[in-house]
Structure 1
Amino acid sequence: MSTRDRLVDSTRELLWERGYVGTSPKTIQQRAGAGQGSMYHHFAGKEDLAVEAIRKTAAEMRASVETQLSAPGTAVERLAGYLRRERAVLRGCPIGGLTQDPEVMATPALRAPVEETLGWLRDRLADEIHRGLACGELRPPLDPAATAAALVAALQGGYVLARAAGSAEVFDQAIAGILALLAAHAVGHDINTATT
């Protein structure tokens, strides 16, 4: 792995663990096993490196979601599979967690990939819900955009509740609750047993 890649990956992990303010250039360099000169050879500074790290995390998240939502099966099965997929619940969401960092939210370059990714996720889930409606797997009235926003809110809120409780059980309850709401609109399909 190149020094540049080590710097990006170390920054990704530190942002997830400590947030932007809690991640110092010195800590990044120590974790990456890189000197100050190497860091500033590849990046203009901490913000430039953090933007690259957030974008890489966002790209991996998008690819993972796309894989899940492109799996075989019905739209309902894909949505249920996505909601139930394995996550590092007590670590929180590596993208959603950044919304709690005042410095990230106040810095347009850092905020942009976070906002873009969460917007993309809402749109992608809305597309899947729309497919389910079009195929007759979900029954109206079910607004795809509003339902997708509720799914993302349940996921992100589930992370917050689980971290506060120190238990993934609360996250699982949030997912069970949102699945129950979807089940009310599922046609001839038990969403509670849907898997991918």
Structure 2
Amino acid sequence: MSTAAERLIESTRELLWERGYTGTSPKAIQQRAGAGQGSMYHHFSGKPDLAHAAISRTAGELRAAAEEQFAAPGTAVERVTAYLRRERDVLKGCPIGRLTQDPDVMADPALRAPVEETLAWLRERLAGVLDEGRERGELDRGLDPRATAATVVAVLQGGYVLARAARSTEPFDQAVTGVLNLLTAHAVPNA
């Protein structure tokens, strides 16, 4: 991909996170990217096409970052803990989770697809890690991997909301600690 196309995608990613879809105008994208209108329409058919490329890239990067923790050595609880405790820009929120609150993104099936797919992947991948922990005897058999994975994702996304509302990372950290305490309660001692 050309340098101009890369700059356009990166500028769109930043603006979507900062302003949402409606607040991200083609002119703002072009200005931030240092690219002209001709360059934008040479590489992309329009704002929806560019937004889709930006959202898809963000989704891919989030999956790759999460997979680093999920595929690492350690127990299921250690890997989930590493995922939840990794460095994040908490007060900016989740760049994918925030898009669920954007009515224009949610109304467009093409823009919504990478958001839905990423959150579904995250729930499934977490459920897989937790199920692996059950199979290896690290977590008790009473733990429901799918329900627990959905809970972890909900707490993570809700933690972002609480932190943004309070303008403090403390509610996020408390939410993560709380869900990890619940998960640890299912750990089998000396497994």
Residue type of the partner of 1:62?
R
Structure of greater relative contact order (alpha carbons < 8 Å, 6+ residues apart)? 1
Q: Distance in 1 between matches of 2:135 and 2:149?
A: 16
SS at match of 1:21: coil
1:144 partner amino acid: P
Q: Distance in 2 between matches of 1:153 and 1:22?
A: 26
Q: Normalising to structure 2: TM-score of the pair? A: 0.97
Residue identity opposite 2:177 in structure 1: A
Equivalent residue number for residue 186 of structure 1: 187
Alignment-derived partner of residue 117 in structure 1 = 118
In 2, Cα distance between equivalents of 1:50 and 1:127: 31
Counterparts of 1:132 and 1:165 in 2: how far apart (Å)?
Answer: 35
Unaligned segments of structure 1, at least 5 residues: 190-196
Q: Which amino acid aligns with 1:70?
A: A
Q: CA deviation at 1:21?
A: 0.8
Q: Return the alpha-carbon distance in structure 1 between the equivalents of residues 106 and 121 of structure 2.
A: 18
* One-letter code aligned to 1:173: Q
Instruction: Give, as a single letter, the amino acid of the residue that structure 2 aligns with 1:50.
Output: A
Calculate the TM-score normalised by the size of structure 1: 0.95
Aligned twin of 1:140? 141
- Count of matched residue positions in the alignment of Structure 1 and Structure 2: 190
Letter in 1 for 2:82: G
Q: CA RMSD in A?
A: 1.2
Paired with 2:20 and 2:104, the residues of 1 have a C-alpha distance of 9
Residue matched to 2:105: 104
SS at match of 1:72: coil
Partner Cα separation in structure 2 for residue 16 and residue 55 of structure 1: 13
Give the Cα separation in 1 of the matches to 2:76 and 2:142.
17
CA distance in 2, matches of 1:182, 1:144: 10
Matched, 1:163 2:161: no
Aligned equivalent of 1:76: 77
TM superposition shift of 1:75: 1.4
Runs of 4+ residues over 3 Å off in structure 1:
none
